[in-house]
Amino acid sequence: MISRHVYKIICGLFAVMMLSSCSDNRQYETAICALADISGTYAKEKESMVNIIKAGIIPKMVPGDSLFFITIDSSSYDEENLKGKLTLDYRPSQANQQRVAFAELLDEFSSGSTSSKYTDISGAMMLCSGYLKSTMAGTQVMFIFSDMKEELKPGIKRSFSKDEFENMDIAAMNVIKLNEDNTDPQVFRSRIKKWEKRIMKHSGKSWNATLSPTDISDYIDQIR
């Protein structure tokens, strides 16, 4: 009689264990957000940006991963700035088709001539942060393709919340130096330092501004 009860308890515990061990894939997935600056001098970097995303980021994505492509313009905190969104299917064949389709979308963007006067990097980062959080992915990464010089349109206010970049790895990619940076490198360095402080202050997991396009693959492997 006792053994029957013990048997039932063991079966119950096993069932509970099996049920609790079932989890969805989200914690194993990676959500990536690529912010593309289309303002001022950086607008001519569109092609190289697209090439880096196509050759460095998309091939590293595995089924279940997401990619958001957002532009940085005069007022970036706008849904219209989300130029493309990709969540890879779990079937490898479908995932490949999606990759190709997204690459075509990026090519289309690259061939366009859109540009903006001001540079609202913070707004784009806030928009991106919202999208990344919505995925609830285990790894959340933000790649910023910009010279990292923010110029906000008069009247626009941007302030991050305390947990704005919680659990997010942020990397500035293809950061080109401006003329003033060439005159005084300290200007560039202090600008990058300022961004690091700002991001880490708002719960950023890591900050990297020294990534070269060839390092993206290793960087994604490292943060996963």
Residues that bind another protein (CB under 8 A): 18, 21-26, 28, 51, 54-55, 58-59, 63-64, 89-93, 96, 99-100, 103
Collapse the DSSP code of 59 into the 3-class scheme (helix H, G, I; strand E, B; otherwise coil) and give the result.
helix
Q: From the CB of 98, what's the least distance to another protein, in Å?
A: 10
CA distance 33 to 71: 10
CB nearer another protein, residue 89 or residue 166: 89
CB nearer another protein, residue 92 or residue 185: 92
Cβ atoms of 96 and 104 within 8 Å: the answer is no
Q: From the CB of 95, what's the least distance to another protein, in Å?
A: 9
Q: From the CB of 141, what's the least distance to another protein, in Å?
A: 18
Collapse the DSSP code of 87 into the 3-class scheme (helix H, G, I; strand E, B; otherwise coil) and give the result.
strand
Q: From the CB of 69, what's the least distance to another protein, in Å?
A: 14
CB nearer another protein, residue 1 or residue 18: 18
Joined together, the tokens standing for residue 30 give 């990676």
- For the four alpha carbons of 95, 100, 106 and 109, in that order, the dihedral sign comes to negative
Cβ atoms of 192 and 172 within 8 Å: the answer is yes
Collapse the DSSP code of 171 into the 3-class scheme (helix H, G, I; strand E, B; otherwise coil) and give the result.
strand
Q: From the CB of 87, what's the least distance to another protein, in Å?
A: 10
CB nearer another protein, residue 52 or residue 124: 52
Q: From the CB of 56, what's the least distance to another protein, in Å?
A: 9
DSSP character string of 175-220: -PPPHHHHH-HHHHHHHHHHHHHHHHHTTBSEEEEEE-GGGHHHHH
In a 13 Å sphere around the CA of 51, the CA atoms on its Cβ side amount to 8
CB nearer another protein, residue 23 or residue 113: 23
CA dihedral 67, 198, 148, 177 (to 10 degrees): -130
CB nearer another protein, residue 74 or residue 174: 174
